Amino acid sequence: MSDLPNALKSIVTPVRLEYDHSAGAAATGFLRGLTQKKILGARTGPGEPVLVPPRGADPRTSELAAELVEVSDKGTVVTYSIVRVPSDNIPFELPYVCATVLLDGANLGFFHVLQNCALDEVRIGMRVQAHWAPDDQLTENVSSIRYFEPIDEPDVPFEQIEEYA
């Protein structure tokens, strides 16, 4: 056949799933805490690892993690990634940094966006703090923490955060 149509290079084939999501008791506590600028984790008992955001159970033992604990809104970058791919639901200017932040008092990294930080300055061990939404915009949503940003504190040596990096 000589008169073939022009070939399309690609098509868009979206996948969309709509859930009615129940946060469950543990995450509800965490989300309620955000409305009061508190970051809550959960643990199975005193001296046990603090999971942030809280899970209903300790993933290692499946033991109920019923004790909520407030942790700091300051923490340490334990790993990060630079995002250069646009997405229509991301309100940050590209490129930006996503980081896992080990909050002071927590034993699990907390995933969020880093702002006010040059790309070539972000590093493992860097100290950061949550930048909260204005008081009248605090909701039961993780975006009540708008982002994390660097603070003027000395880096944490890698050896101290190695197991979280």
> Based on the number of CB atoms within 10 Å of its own CB, is 132 exposed (0-12), middle (13-18) or buried (19 or more)?
middle
Among 61, 62, 63, 90, binds other proteins (CB under 8 A): 90
Please report, for residues 15, 26, 32, 44, 105, the alpha-carbon distance to residue 62 in angstroms, rounded to integers and kept in the order given: 33, 14, 24, 10, 21
Q: Which of residues 46-65 bind other proteins (CB under 8 A)?
A: none
Stretch that binds other proteins, among 16-24, 45-53, 118-126, 149-157 (CB under 8 A): 16-24
Q: Which of residues 68-87 bind other proteins (CB under 8 A)?
A: 68, 87
3-state secondary structure of 57: strand
Among 24, 45, 59, 95, binds other proteins (CB under 8 A): 24
- Cα–Cα distance measured from residue 1 to residue 65, given in angstroms and rounded to the nearest whole number: 68
Question: Of 137 and 160, which CB lies nearer to other proteins in the complex structure?
Answer: 137
Residue 58 near residue 107 (C-beta atoms within 8 A): no
Q: Which of residues 105-134 bind other proteins (CB under 8 A)?
A: 111-113, 133
Among 37, 38, 55, 74, binds other proteins (CB under 8 A): 38
- Cα–Cα distance measured from residue 161 to residue 80, given in angstroms and rounded to the nearest whole number: 14
- Cα–Cα distance measured from residue 68 to residue 40, given in angstroms and rounded to the nearest whole number: 6
Answer yes or no whether residue 91 interacts with other proteins by CB under 8 A: yes
Residues near other proteins (CB under 8 A) are: 1, 4-29, 31-33, 36, 38, 40, 66, 68, 87-91, 111-113, 133, 137, 139-143, 146-147
